[in-house]
Amino acid sequence: MRVFILMIMVCYCEASVNVTSEKPLEVGNFVLERSENFEQFVHKVFEPTSTKSVKFLTTNRSTVNVKLSGNTYTEIYTVGNQVISNSFQLGIEFEEDTFFGPITTVAHKDYTPPFTEFTWSSKLPNNKRFTRKFYMLANGFTVVMTSPNINVTAILHYKRI
């Protein structure tokens, strides 16, 4: 009986270690597979600085690498030969570098099975606001972009690589 209990305890500890050592869904490398209404959304939210950036973003391969160290996330976006890196902590406002210029952002995380969901609320220098909801799954994530200032919703689909 003692051996049996010992075996159960070892299996429980092993299972616990395996579960806790898995990377969160949001950590990894991703590539943009497709977008919906992205150009229209960006033109309306980021005008007038968006034209050159949208053309660059839509004609080059777009990847993102997400790292987590403690409670600090680092996201490295690569489009063509340009790279942007942002580090932040959830719930704390930060200055986000984008291909359209700097914006003020705060990110929050929520878990609603089967998704790990992030909500990024951002404010531009022109005082326009927009929200990005990230729906994370094992094979990638979808970003839904909305703004109270416009009637266009953009959707970005990223695949894990």
CATH T-level fold of 27-60+91-160: Lipocalin (2.40.128)
User: Averaged over 93-111, what is the pLDDT?
Assistant: 93
Q: Mean pLDDT throughout 103-123?
A: 91
**What pTM value is reported for the model?**
0.80
Where along the chain do its domains lie?
27-60+91-160
Question: 94: pLDDT confidence band, cut at 50, 70 and 90?
Answer: very high
CA dist 129 to 54, 68, 100, 150, Å?
18, 27, 14, 10
